[in-house]
Amino acid sequence: MKARVQVMLKDGVLDPQGEAVRHALGTLGFDGVEDVRQGKVIEIALSETDADAARARVTEMCERLLANTVIEKYEVELL
């Protein structure tokens, strides 16, 4: 089973990388881009076959390592 984790900064947390991308897009002529938020996507291949157990395991991975839950939120998708 595979899982995809999307990690993003929480709303209200300053995103300097997103701001740099927004600025660069404007410089390249892409007008009208008001906001950019940048995050990361992590794909994990698991030997687990039970969906509930897999989700629980990936959630624990997020809580312990993959996301800084003070400033980041995450979403787990089983594929």
Whole-prediction pTM: 0.87
The fold of 2-78 is Mth169; Chain: A , (3.30.1280)
Domain borders along the chain are 2-78
Burial zone of 47 (CB within 10 Å; 0-12 exposed, 13-18 middle, 19+ buried): exposed
Q: Write the DSSP string, 47-77.
A: S---HHHHHHHHHHHIIIII--TTTEEEEEE
State pLDDT tens for residues 17-62. 999 999 999 999 999 999 999 999 999 999 999 999 999 999 999 9
